[in-house]
Amino acid sequence: QEFAPDFNHLPFTLGVAGRPGGEDFYVNLVDNTRNHGPGGQGPEPDPCFAEVVKGKDVLEKVHQKLTTGFLKEEDFVLIRRMLIKGEEKGT
């Protein structure tokens, strides 16, 4: 996995979950740079690859629904539409 210091785990950024979870991603709702950046949970930091620009209020509502902080099947939220646009950061 690759990590770039210009793409830290700041609020509303998307990170790639590492092993053993496979090809999953997560949305940082707080600054998780310490946990998922260099020197975090393992020898390889998780890369960040995107930033949420619209719908932050929806993510906050989904997060409020989680009572334990972890998803259970009854907490699953169906994402009906997601648009991922490619753009270089800083351009």
Q: Which helix (H) or strand (E) holds 59?
A: helix 56-65
Q: Can you give the pLDDT of all 91 residues of the chain as single tens digits?
A: 456 667 788 999 988 876 666 677 888 999 988 877 766 556 666 778 888 988 899 888 887 776 666 667 777 777 788 777 776 655 4
Give pTM, 2 decimals. 0.67
Paired strand residues for 26: 15
Q: How many residues does the chain have?
A: 91
Do residues 9 and 35 make contact, with C-beta atoms less than 8 angstroms apart? yes
